[in-house]
Amino acid sequence: MDTSEANDDTLGIEVILPDGGKPAPCCPHGPTLLFEKVGKGGEKGRRFYACSACRDRKDCKFFQWEDEKVSEARVLAREAENQSKRPPFTQQEYCKRFRKFASLPLDEKKFCQDCQILLLPAEREAHSSHRSTAVTAAQLRRPSAMLRPLDNKKSNAQYLFTDRSSHFLLDTLAALGYKRVLCVGTPRLQELIKLRNLEQSHEPMKSLLLDIDFRYAQFYSRDEFCHYNMFNHHFFDGEASSAILQAFLTEADGEKVVMVADPPFGGLVKPLANSFSLISQTWGKLQSSDNSNSDMPMMWIFPYFFEPRILECFPSFTMLDYQVDYDNHPLYKHGKTGRKQSPVRLFTNISPRDVVLPKEEGYRFCSVCQRFVWSLNRHCTKCNVCPSKDGREWKHCSVCEKCVKPSWRHCQSCSRCALPDHPCGLTEGKEGCFNCGSLKHKRKACPVKDTHRVSRHRPGAKSGAKNVSHRHVFKAKGKRKSGAARRAKKMAALSV
C-alpha cells in the first residue's frame, strides 16, 4: 500500500488507495476502501475497510479490520446482502421496458412515485395503492424532473443544476468542439444534451451517464447509462459496462470527448481523483500514439475551498470563477435565508482562457491572468493575480505580501492576517480550519465538514439580469458574528 497517498479529509482518518495488492472486500457499493485512523501525534492506528460511497454507517454498515479473520458464514451472508441490494432489473431489462413504455398510448403511461418506476400495464394492479402520475412524452425526456432527488445528506444528496448552469455548461462544451460528453454524476446535463439533439439546428452530441442512482437506468439505452460508483471506479455490471465506457472514450470519427463530474461534496477528494485518473488513463490508452501523453479534458465541479486538495491531485487543473448553482437546494426552497452566492466552482484542465464566462452575468476577461474572472475579483498588480476565491473582493496586505479576504485584518502579534476576533497569539505558525475558517480546530476535526453542498439559485440570473448582486457571500442577517462563526452556523443550519 502506498501510504504517501494516505491523507484525506475525514475526522482523523486517512484513506489508503488500492495499489493492486490484496483485493478489498465488497459491500453493496462495490470494493470497500481501506482507512487508517491517525492519532493526534500522527501515530498510525489500526486499518479497516469501510464503504467507499457512504460516509454514514446508517447507509452502509460494512466494517472490517484489515487483519480480521472473516468466517465463511459471514462471507456468504455478505454476498447474499450485496445481491439483495442489486437493482430489480438488469440494464437490458430496463431498456426493453423503456421501449415498451414509450410505445404505450398516453393514457396508459404511468409512473409510480412511491416506487420511482415507470409502470407497464400488467404492473399497475400491484401498485394500485401507491401514488402514481401520468407521464407525457416531454416528461419522459426529463427524468431528472420526474425522479425525486435523493436527499441523503451525507452520501448521496442530489443537487440538480439550474437551467442557467446546465445551459452554460453545455454551450461551453459545444463551443469548444466537444462531441462526446462523459457525464459522471450529472444526469441533468445528459438530459439536456439529448434534448438539444432533438433541435435540428445543432450538431448532435453523444453522452454517457455514469451514476450510482440506478433509477436513471429506466430512461436510457445500454450505451447511455452505466451503474457506476465514482469513489472506487466500480461498474456494477462489470465488464459489460467498462466495455461501454471504452467504446465511448474511443474518439471515433474524430469526435472529441470531455468528462464533466459533479460528485457529492461530502465525498473524499483522493478516491474521486483516483477514479477520474483511471478514466483518463483508459482514454489515453485509446489515443493514437502521438496523443497518448496528453490528459483527457475534464471538468470537476466542487466547492472552491477544496481547491488545494484538488490541485494536489491534479496540478494541471485551474479553478474557474464561474459559480455553479442548483435548483433544489434547501436554501433555495426556503426563501431568502441563505447565501447570495454559490461556493461551487469548475475545476478543469481545459485552458481557462478558452472557457468564456458570460459577460451579462458579470464576468470579464483578465488579460494578465488570461482567464475570465468574476467582476469583484480585481487584478492585484503586486501579487500579479486575480486573487479572490470566494467571489468577494480581496485586498492586498503589504505586510503578508499577499491578498486576503476582505474581512481579515493584519494582526501584529500573530504577524499574519486574520479575522478581527481571532484567538490572538494561539495560532503561531498554524493555519485555521480550511473548511469553516475557525482557528480552534483543523479541517479534519471540523464539525460542519459534511455540509458543503451550499448553493443558491440567483433570481433573475438566467434571464440575463445585469444587476444581480453576487456580492454578499456568507453575509448573515442581523448581528454580525465572526466570519468563522457565521459560516459554521450557516453550514450547521444546512444540515437539518
Angle between the N-to-C axes of helices 187-198 and 163-175, in degrees from 0 to 180, rounded to the nearest 10: 70
Choose the binding region for ligand SAH from 69-77, 81-89, 224-232, 243-251 (rule: CB under 6 A): 224-232
Closest-CA residue to 390 (of 434, 429, 449): 434
Asked whether position 237 contacts ligand SAH by CB under 6 A, the answer is: no
Choose among Zn ion, ligand SAH, none what residue 380 binds, the Cβ cut-off being 5 to 8 Å by kind. Answer: Zn ion
What one-letter code names the amino acid at 252?
A
Judged by CB, which is closer to ligand SAH: 296, or 386?
Answer: 296
Residues 438, 441, 446, 447, CA torsion sign: negative
> Binder to Zn ion among 34, 38, 51, 259 (CB under 5 A)?
51
For residue 82, the minimal CB distance to ligand SAH (Å) is 15
> Binder to ligand SAH among 6, 119, 189, 454 (CB under 6 A)?
189
CA–CA distance, 208 with 356 (Å, rounded to integer): 25
CB-based closest residue to ligand SAH: 185
Judged by CB, which is closer to Zn ion: 126, or 400?
Answer: 400
For residue 323, the minimal CB distance to Zn ion (Å) is 18
Rounded to the nearest 5 degrees, what angle is found at the Cα of 304, between the Cα atoms of 300 and 310? 50
Closest-CA residue to 8 (of 167, 244, 282, 231): 231
Q: Mark residues 147-186: x for contact with ligand SAH by CB under 6 A, - for none.
A: ---------x-xxxx-----------------------xx
The cell 453523444 sits on which residue?
A: 206
Choose the binding region for ligand SAH from 81-89, 110-118, 198-206, 207-215 (rule: CB under 6 A): 207-215
CA–CA distance, 476 with 488 (Å, rounded to integer): 11
Closest-CA residue to 263 (of 223, 304, 218, 212): 212
> Binder to ligand SAH among 8, 224, 237, 262 (CB under 6 A)?
262
Choose among Zn ion, ligand SAH, none what residue 419 binds, the Cβ cut-off being 5 to 8 Å by kind. Answer: none
Asked whether position 455 contacts ligand SAH by CB under 6 A, the answer is: no
Judged by CB, which is closer to ligand SAH: 26, or 386?
Answer: 26
CA–CA distance, 349 with 315 (Å, rounded to integer): 9
Closest-CA residue to 348 (of 316, 323, 380): 316
What one-letter code names the amino acid at 247?
A
Residues of this chain, 357-396, that bind Zn ion according to CB under 5 A: 366, 368-369, 379-380, 382-383, 386, 396
Q: Is 8 left (phi over 0), alpha (psi -120 to 50) or beta?
A: beta
Residues making up the chain, counted from first to last: 496
Judged by CB, which is closer to ligand SAH: 301, or 403?
Answer: 301
> Binder to ligand SAH among 211, 224, 390, 450 (CB under 6 A)?
211
Closest-CA residue to 392 (of 469, 303, 295): 469
The cell 454524476 sits on which residue?
A: 185
What are the residues binding ligand SAH (CB under 6 A)? 53, 156, 158-161, 185-189, 211-213, 228-231, 262, 264
- Residues near Zn ion (CB under 5 A) are 27, 29, 51, 60, 366, 368-369, 379-380, 382-383, 386, 396-397, 399-400, 403, 410, 417
